Amino acid sequence: MSEQMMLLSDAAKVMQTTPLNVLMHIKRGLLKGVEEKGQWLVNHESLEALLAKTGGSKADNVCSSGCDKENACGGGCG
Protein backbone atom coordinates (compact mmCIF):
# COMPACT_ATOMS: atom_id res chain seq x y z
CA MET A 1 0.00 0.00 0.00
CA SER A 2 1.50 3.33 -1.03
CA GLU A 3 1.47 6.31 1.30
CA GLN A 4 -0.53 9.39 0.36
CA MET A 5 1.91 12.14 -0.52
CA MET A 6 1.45 15.82 -1.26
CA LEU A 7 3.69 18.51 -2.69
CA LEU A 8 5.81 20.48 -0.24
CA SER A 9 4.20 23.72 -1.45
CA ASP A 10 0.72 22.33 -0.77
CA ALA A 11 1.73 21.27 2.73
CA ALA A 12 3.05 24.81 3.31
CA LYS A 13 -0.32 26.26 2.32
CA VAL A 14 -2.14 23.92 4.71
CA MET A 15 0.25 24.88 7.53
CA GLN A 16 0.11 28.57 6.57
CA THR A 17 3.88 28.78 6.43
CA THR A 18 6.67 28.69 3.87
CA PRO A 19 7.95 25.66 1.96
CA LEU A 20 11.31 26.18 3.69
CA ASN A 21 9.69 25.78 7.10
CA VAL A 22 8.00 22.58 5.95
CA LEU A 23 11.37 21.29 4.76
CA MET A 24 12.81 22.16 8.19
CA HIS A 25 10.04 20.06 9.76
CA ILE A 26 11.06 17.13 7.55
CA LYS A 27 14.75 17.56 8.33
CA ARG A 28 14.00 17.61 12.09
CA GLY A 29 11.84 14.51 11.87
CA LEU A 30 8.59 16.31 12.68
CA LEU A 31 7.12 15.37 9.28
CA LYS A 32 7.75 12.46 6.95
CA GLY A 33 8.85 13.45 3.49
CA VAL A 34 10.88 12.25 0.54
CA GLU A 35 12.63 13.88 -2.36
CA GLU A 36 11.72 12.42 -5.74
CA LYS A 37 13.11 13.73 -9.00
CA GLY A 38 14.19 16.99 -7.35
CA GLN A 39 10.80 17.63 -5.76
CA TRP A 40 9.91 17.18 -2.07
CA LEU A 41 6.75 15.31 -1.14
CA VAL A 42 5.17 15.26 2.32
CA ASN A 43 3.35 12.29 3.82
CA HIS A 44 -0.26 13.36 4.31
CA GLU A 45 -0.78 11.28 7.48
CA SER A 46 2.29 12.77 9.17
CA LEU A 47 1.04 16.26 8.29
CA GLU A 48 -2.39 15.52 9.76
CA ALA A 49 -0.76 14.15 12.93
CA LEU A 50 1.44 17.24 13.29
CA LEU A 51 -1.50 19.58 12.74
CA ALA A 52 -3.53 17.72 15.37
CA LYS A 53 -0.62 17.98 17.82
CA THR A 54 0.09 21.66 17.17
CA GLY A 55 -3.48 22.88 16.77
CA GLY A 56 -3.17 23.51 13.04
CA SER A 57 0.13 25.30 12.68
CA LYS A 58 3.83 24.59 12.43
CA ALA A 59 5.69 23.13 15.40
CA ASP A 60 6.84 25.51 18.15
CA ASN A 61 10.51 24.63 17.81
CA VAL A 62 10.75 25.75 14.17
CA CYS A 63 11.14 29.52 13.81
CA SER A 64 9.17 31.40 11.22
CA SER A 65 10.57 34.12 9.03
CA GLY A 66 10.75 37.40 10.89
CA CYS A 67 11.03 35.61 14.24
CA ASP A 68 11.15 38.22 16.99
CA LYS A 69 12.61 35.87 19.60
CA GLU A 70 16.10 36.71 18.36
CA ASN A 71 17.47 33.25 19.04
CA ALA A 72 16.02 33.17 22.58
CA CYS A 73 14.66 29.72 21.80
CA GLY A 74 18.16 28.35 21.26
CA GLY A 75 17.73 27.97 17.52
CA GLY A 76 20.11 29.35 14.96
CA CYS A 77 17.76 31.84 13.32
CA GLY A 78 18.62 34.92 15.33
The CATH classification of domain 1-78, taken from the options 1.10.1760, 1.10.1660, 3.30.470, 1.10.760: 1.10.1660
Read off the pLDDT of residues 34-48 as tens digits, 9 standing for 90 and up. 999 999 999 999 999
Q: In the chain, which stretches have pLDDT less than 50?
A: 1, 71, 78
Give the model's pLDDT for residue 10. Answer: 96
Own/partner pairs, 60-66, CB within 8 angstroms, 24+ separation: 61/28, 62/21, 62/24, 62/25, 62/28, 62/30, 64/17, 64/18, 64/21, 65/18, 65/21
